[in-house]
Amino acid sequence: MQWIMAKATKPGPETPTYAEGTHPSRAEACVLADGFEDLFAVLIAWQNDLMADGEYITAYAMPAVVTQAGYVAAETLAAWDEGDERAIRLDYEHGGWIKVAPDHEARPKGRPPFPPALEAPKRRKEITR
């Protein structure tokens, strides 16, 4: 699955954790990555190349539909504009850590990955005298 990621805009040092999602066509930096794991290397490169010392980059990413020509499809850009719930936020943090979080309030989804464990045999009551 391919992903599109765009560098977010931060208004200033008075709100260091606030970042506005910038449309990919207007972002200072944007990339179409072949896989989710590729986003991390790109974010680190952007941090090293685009940010001043003491500033940390934030980017937004989401899965992308790609045309046969290899470009982002219009439906992906429309979903970006609508605030698609698949969007994630990536924050480069002090020490080189990257924080990944959903860009929306979402209910947890999932199910147990394994069948229920067999019930343990019942123990006999011990007789006390």
Q: For 89-120, how does the pLDDT look when each residue is reduced to its tens digit (9 = 90+)?
A: 999 998 999 999 987 776 777 888 888 776 66
pTM value is: 0.79
Does the residue 116 lie in any domain?
A: no
Write out the residue range of the structural domain in which residue 96 sits: 2-102
pLDDT above 70 coverage of the chain, percent = 90
The answer to the question of residue 115 being in a domain is no
- Whether 21 is covered by a domain: the verdict is yes
pLDDT at position 128? 64
Number of domains in the chain: 1
Does the residue 113 lie in any domain?
Answer: no
123 lies in some domain: no
Domain-located, residue 121: no
Burial 95-127 (b: 16+ CB within 10 A, else e): eeebeeeebeeeeeeeeeeeeeeeeeeeeeeee
